[in-house]
Structure 1
Amino acid sequence: MTEPTRPGAAVPAPPSAVPESAVSPVADEVGTSLARLDALEALPVHEHVDVFAEVDRALRRRLTLAEG
């Protein structure tokens, strides 16, 4: 059984979601690819195909490396 919290007692802060040191190069590269997709709104539509192709190549490369 837990003790009730006293009024005015300090509540511990939750741990941060992911420490900087825990981000792997793979996650960083995938995140970069996803960020490129998020930025599509700022680009003219005729440039979208090139971005899709770049992201596809990057993600396929990552998958190939992950499969060993």
Structure 2
Amino acid sequence: MGVHSGDRGPEWTSSRQNINGHFYGMENAEVTKTILCFIVKSLCCKYEDVVAMVPLPAVNSFVIKKW
């Protein structure tokens, strides 16, 4: 986590902590209040896994279209 720049795209900053099951942090200078989770499930067996947890200030249609 931190500042990234160069070939990967625009500069961004993020900071997050998990304290007693609660996520606290900042994303693009905004306080995060929501976590957008991406889960994969198998069609043929009982496999299920969370592949990404993205802290966001809020979820709206713009965020859903972006991801």
Range class of TM-score, shorter chain: under 0.3
Higher strand share: 2
- Which structure has the greater CA radius of gyration? 1
TM-score, structure 1 normalization: 0.24
Higher helix share: 1
Higher relative contact order (CA 8 A, sep 6+): 1
